[in-house]
Amino acid sequence: MKIKLLSKKILVALWALSLAIIVAGAFVVGFVGFNAAPDASDAASVEVSGYMSQGGLRENIEAFCADKLAADGYTVREINHYESYSFMDDVLEFVLAGDPAADMREYAAGLQTALDASGIQGLDTAAVTVSGNNAVAAPAYTYVWRTAVAVGVVAVVLFVYVAVRFRLGMGLLSLAALAHDVLLTLALAALLRIPAGMTLAGVAVFAALLSAFLQTGVFGRMRSDIRAAEKEGGKNALPARDAVALSLQTGAKGALAAVVGLAAVCVVLAAVGLFTGIGLTFFALAALVAAAVCGYSALALSPAAFACIKEKSDARRAEKAKYNYASEKKRAKTAKDAPAAEEAAEAEAE
Instruction: Give the Cα separation of 170 and 258 in Å (integer).
Output: 21
pTM for the structure as a whole: 0.64
Predicted confidence at residue 4, as pLDDT, reads 77
C-alpha distance from residue 233 to each of 225, 237, 245, 325 (Å) = 12, 4, 16, 22
Strands, E, within the chain: which ranges? Answer: 45-50, 76-83, 90-96, 128-133
- 215, 174 Cβ separation under 8 angstroms: yes
C-alpha distance from residue 317 to each of 5, 54, 167, 298, 313 (Å) = 23, 78, 15, 27, 6
Using CA of residue 93, residue 94, residue 99, residue 105, what is the dihedral sign? negative
Strand, coil or helix: 251: helix
Instruction: Give the Cα separation of 299 and 250 in Å (integer).
Output: 12
User: Helix H segments across 98-238?
Assistant: 104-116, 140-165, 168-191, 199-233
Q: Which domains does the chain have, with CATH numbers?
A: 8-35+139-322 (1.20.1640.10), 45-133 (3.30.70)
Judge whether residue 321 has pLDDT over 90.
no
Predicted confidence at residue 21, as pLDDT, reads 94
Residues 172-189: pLDDT tens digits? 888 999 999 999 999 998
With residues binned 3-state (H G I as helix, E B as strand, rest as coil), the percentages for the chain, rounded to 5, are 70, 10, 20
Residues 7-47: pLDDT tens digits? 888 889 999 999 999 999 989 887 877 776 655 555 788 88
| Average pLDDT of the residues of the chain | 80
H or E element, residue 297:
none
